[in-house]
C-alpha cells in the first residue's frame, strides 16, 4: 500500500534570467520516503529545494502540500545573528508549544555533533558551522527535511552518526549530496533531474548507476532507430519532389523538422553522457623510490592555552607512485601534514626529507589563489593568450574549459559569479592541465556534483604520479587510493593498505577483538566474585527455577552452535555477497549476535554449575 502523499508539484516551470530552468516538471513526495535528488550543476536541484521550502515561487504550474506539513531546510549557506551562541542559533528556530520539550534534544544532538553550545557562532570553523546548521535542521523534526550537501566539511565519524540518525528519522527527506556512499546508506528513492526532465526511480541510490545506464541505453537505441528513419527520408528527399504534389512538399518539410529535432536530441544525449579523457602524466625519472621521509617528527600547536598534539614521534615514508588517502577529524592534523611536506611550516622536532627533484601540484580547500575579480580565462592564463599547454599539447582555452563543463560564454565572467562547486572545478582544471609529479589534493570533492566527481575519479585513476588525497568521501577514496593514513587525534596515526572500506573493516575487526577481550575479563571477574560470594555465604540449595535453567542451558548451547555453524557456512560462499549484499550484511550481524548469545549461555552455565558443585560438596 503506497504511503500518504504530503507534497506535490504539477506542470511546474521556473525561469532564471528569462531562461527556463525546467518546464512541465511534476514530482510527488510521500510520507517516509527518503529521496536522493540527483543532477548536474545548474540542473535545478537547489531551485526545487527552494520551491519546497517556500523560498521560491513557481512561474507556472501548481504546488500542493498536506495542511500542517512542516519543512526544514539545511542550505549550503545560512545566516546567524551577531553574538548568537550555538545553543541560541539551534534553539531559537523552534516555535510552538513543544519548544521547551526540544531543549533536551538540542543538547543531545549538539553533543553528538561535537558542538560546544556556549560559544558564539562567529567563533566556529567552516566544518563546525555546517554541524550547527545540521543540528538546527534535525532539532525541528519537520515532516519534510531538505538537506543540501549535508556532508560537506564533516568528519567521517560525524557522517556515520548522521547516517544512523537519518535512518531512524520518522519524516520524509530530500537530499542533495556528492557523497555516493552517504546516499546509498540513507535513501530509498531517486529523483534524477536530467536535461530539464525529472525521472523517478522507486529504489534507493544504491541502484542508481544501473538504472540510469538502462535509461541512457534505451535513449541511445531510440536515437539509432530515429537516425535510420531520417536517413531513409533524406534519401527519398534527395530524389526530388514534384511541386504540384502537396503531400510530398509536406513530407519534405517534415523531413527537415525530423532532422533538426534528431540533431538537437543527439547533441543533448552526447552532452549528458560525455566523459572527459586525459593522458596520464609520467613520474619524474630518478633512482630513489622514496620521495619523502618523516623521521621522529613532532608537531604541536597552542589552542586556548592548551597544547594540541598533531604528530608525536611520527615515522613515515612516501614512495614514488604511492596513492595515499588521508582521513581524520577536523583539527586532527591532516592539513598540517600536507603543509609540512610543502615546507610551508616546520616540524618542532625530528627531520623531514623531501626528494630534491620533487614538484608539487597543490589543491587547497580554501581556494586562496582564486581572486574574485579575475575572469576564468585570466585565472587559467595569467600571461594572456588563447592557447594553453595541456600536458605538452596546445589547446584553445575555451575548448579545454569546456572539458570541465564550462560553457565558452562564461570564460570572460569573473570568478565571483561562480558557485563553490564551479570554483573547485576551475582550480582542478588549472592543476590538471600540467600536474606535477606529486598531486596533493585537500578536500577536492566539496561542492562537486556527481558527474564532475566521476570525471575527477577517472583522471586520478589514470594519473601515474604520487597522490596525496584528503577527503571524507568514502566511495571516492575507495576508487582512487591504495593506502589510508588515518589521523586519530593526539598524535596517533594509523596506516592501512587498501581503500577506506579496507580501513573500516580493519578498524571494526580491531574494535571487536578489544571489546571481546574486555567482555571476557569482565565475565571472568564477575564469575570469580559470584563464586567467592557463594563460598563465603555458605551453601544454599539451588531453587527450582535455577535447576530448570541449568538443565536447559546445554540444549540452548547446542542450538546456538548449530546456528553459528549454519551462518558461517553461508557466509563462506563467495557468491552470497555478490548476489545479495544486503542479506550478507544482515547475516554477518546475526552471526556476531549468535556468538555473543553463546558466550552468555556458556558463562551462565559455568556460574550455575559451580554453584551446584559447591552444594554437593557441602
The whole-angstrom distance between residue 98's C-alpha and the CA centroid of its chain comes to 33
- Alpha helix stretches (DSSP H) within 8-123: 45-53, 86-91, 103-112
As a whole number of Å, the end-to-end CA separation of the chain is 66
Residues 6+ apart with CB under 8 A from 142: 70, 71, 72, 171
What are the start-end ranges of the E strands in 98-245? Answer: 144-148, 172-176, 189-194, 197-201
Note the maximum CA span of the chain: 122
Burial status of residue 519 (CB atoms within 10 A of its CB: 0-12, 13-18, 19 or more): middle
Angle at 286 between CA 284 and CA 290, to 5 degrees: 100
Burial status of residue 243 (CB atoms within 10 A of its CB: 0-12, 13-18, 19 or more): exposed
CA gap 226, 241 in Å, rounded = 22
In this structure, the number of other CB atoms found within 10 A of the CB of residue 617 comes to 7
For residue 483, CA distances in Å to 477, 480, 495, 498 come to 9, 10, 7, 5
Per-residue pLDDT, 255: 57
Strand order in the sheet with 144-148: 71-74, 144-148, 172-176, 34-39, 189-194, 197-201
CA gap 245, 239 in Å, rounded = 14
For residue 521, CA distances in Å to 155, 518, 529, 597 come to 33, 5, 12, 17
For residue 293, CA distances in Å to 174, 317, 350, 351 come to 46, 5, 11, 8
Per-residue pLDDT, 74: 85
| Predicted confidence (pLDDT) per residue in 220-239, tens digit | 888 888 777 777 766 666 66
Per-residue pLDDT, 94: 67
Q: Are 71 and 52 in contact (CB under 8 A)?
A: yes
Residues of the chain with pLDDT under 50: 242-246, 276-286, 534, 537-539
Per-residue pLDDT, 243: 46
Written as nine digits, the cell of 314 is: 611520527
CA gap 312, 320 in Å, rounded = 25
For residue 371, CA distances in Å to 35, 402, 431 come to 37, 21, 16
3-state secondary structure 523-578: HHHHHHHHHHHHHHHCCCCCCHHHHHHHHHHHHHHHHHHHHHHHHHHHHCCHHHHH
| Predicted confidence (pLDDT) per residue in 124-178, tens digit | 877 788 888 888 888 878 899 999 888 887 878 888 888 988 998 889 999 999 8
Per-residue pLDDT, 284: 35
* CB burial readout 475-499, b (16+ within 10 A) else e: bbbbbbbebbbbbeeebebeebebb
Residue 282: DSSP 8-state: P
Residue with cell 526544514: 72
Per-residue pLDDT, 470: 92
Amino acid at each position: 500500500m503506497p504511503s500518504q502523499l504530503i507534497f506535490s508539484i504539477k506542470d511546474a516551470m521556473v525561469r532564471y534570467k528569462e531562461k527556463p530552468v525546467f518546464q512541465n516538471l511534476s514530482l510527488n513526495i510521500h510520507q517516509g520516503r527518503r529521496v536522493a535528488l540527483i543532477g548536474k550543476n545548474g540542473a535545478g536541484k537547489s531551485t526545487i529545494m527552494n520551491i519546497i521550502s517556500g523560498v521560491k515561487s513557481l512561474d507556472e504550474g501548481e504546488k500542493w502540500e498536506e495542511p500542517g506539513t512542516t519543512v526544514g531546510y539545511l542550505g549550503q549557506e545560512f545566516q546567524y545573528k551577531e553574538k548568537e551562541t550555538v545553543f541560541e542559533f539551534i534553539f531559537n528556530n523552534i516555535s510552538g508549544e513543544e519548544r521547551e520539550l526540544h531543549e533536551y534534544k538540542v543538547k543531545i544532538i549538539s553533543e553528538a555533533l561535537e558542538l560546544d553550545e556556549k560559544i558564539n557562532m562567529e567563533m566556529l570553523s567552516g566544518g563546525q558551522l555546517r554541524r550547527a546548521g545540521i543540528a538546527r535542521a534535525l532539532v525541528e523534526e519537520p515532516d519534510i527535511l531538505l538537506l543540501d550537501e549535508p556532508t560537506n566539511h564533516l568528519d567521517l565519524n560525524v557522517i556515520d552518526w548522521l547516517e544512523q540518525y537519518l535512518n531512524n528519522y520518522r519524516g520524509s527527506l530530500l537530499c542533495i549530496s556528492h557523497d555516493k556512499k552517504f546516499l546509498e546508506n540513507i535513501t530509498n528513492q531517486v529523483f534524477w533531474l536530467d536535461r530539464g526532465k525529472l525521472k523517478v526511480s522507486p529504489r534507493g541510490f544504491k541502484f542508481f548507476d544501473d538504472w540510469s545506464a538502462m535509461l541512457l541505453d534505451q535513449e541511445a537505441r531510440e536515437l539509432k532507430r530515429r537516425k535510420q528513419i531520417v536517413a531513409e527520408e533524406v534519401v527519398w528527399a534527395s530524389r526530388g519532389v514534384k511541386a504540384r504534389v502537396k503531400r510530398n512538399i509536406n513530407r519534405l518539410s517534415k523531413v527537415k523538422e525530423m532532422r533538426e529535432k534528431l540533431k538537437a536530441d543527439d547533441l543533448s544525449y552526447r552532452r549528458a553522457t560525455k566523459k572527459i579523457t586525459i593522458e596520464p602524466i609520467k613520474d619524474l625519472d630518478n633512482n630513489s623510490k622514496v620521495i619523502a621521509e618523516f623521521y621522529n617528527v613532532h608537531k604541536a600547536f597552542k589552542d586556548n592555552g592548551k597544547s594540541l598534539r598533531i604528530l608525536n614521534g611520527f615515522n613515515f615514508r612516501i614512495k614514488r607512485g604511492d596513492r595515499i588517502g588521508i582521513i581524520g577529524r577536523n583539527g586532527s592534523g591532516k592539513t598540517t601534514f600536507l603543509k609540512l611536506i610543502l615546507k610551508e611550516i616546520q616540524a618542532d622536532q625530528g627531520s623531514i626529507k623531501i626528494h630534491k627533484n620533487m614538484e608539487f601540484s597543490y589543491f587547497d580547500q580554501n581556494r586562496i589563489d582564486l581572486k574574485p575579480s579575475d575572469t576564468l580565462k585570466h585565472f587559467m592564463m595569467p600571461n594572456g593568450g588563447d592557447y594553453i599547454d595541456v600536458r605538452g599539447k596546445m589547446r584553445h582555452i575555451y575548448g579545454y574549459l569546456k572539458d570541465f563543463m564550462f560553457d565558452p560564454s562564461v570564460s570572460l565572467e569573473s570568478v565571483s559569479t561562480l558557485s563553490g562547486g564551479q570554483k573547485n572545478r576551475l582550480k582542478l582544471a588549472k592543476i590538471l592541465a600540467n600536474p606535477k609529479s606529486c598531486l596533493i589534493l585537500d578536500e577536492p570533492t566539496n561542492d562537486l556534483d556527481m558527474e564532475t566527481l566521476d570525471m575527477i575519479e577517472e583522471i586520478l585513476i589514470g594519473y601515474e604520479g604520487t597522490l596525496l588525497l584528503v577527503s571524507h568521501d568514502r566511495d571516492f577514496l575507495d576508487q582512487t587510493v591504495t593506502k589510508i593514513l588515518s589521523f586519530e587525534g593526539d598524535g596517533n596515526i594509523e596506516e592501512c593498505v587498501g581503500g577506506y572500506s579496507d580501513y573500516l573493516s580493519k578498524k571494526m575487526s580491531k574494535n571487536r577483538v578489544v571489546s571481546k577481550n574486555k567482555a571476557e575479563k569482565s565475565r571472568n571477574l564477575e564469575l570469580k566474585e559470584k563464586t567467592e560470594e557463594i563460598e563465603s555465604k555458605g551453601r544454599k540449595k539451588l531453587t527450582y527455577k535455577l535447576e530448570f535453567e541449568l538443565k536447559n542451558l546445554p540444549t540452548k548451547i547446542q542450538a546456538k552452535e548449530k546456528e553459528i555453524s549454519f551462518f558461517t557456512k553461508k557466509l563462506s560462499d563467495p557468491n552470497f555477497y555478490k548476489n545479495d549484499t544486503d542479506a550478507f550484511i544482515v547475516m554477518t550481524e546475526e552471526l556476531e549476535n549468535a556468538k555473543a548469545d553463546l558466550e552468555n549461555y556458556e558463562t551462565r552455565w559455568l556460574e550455575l554449575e559451580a554453584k551446584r558443585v559447591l552444594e554437593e560438596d557441602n
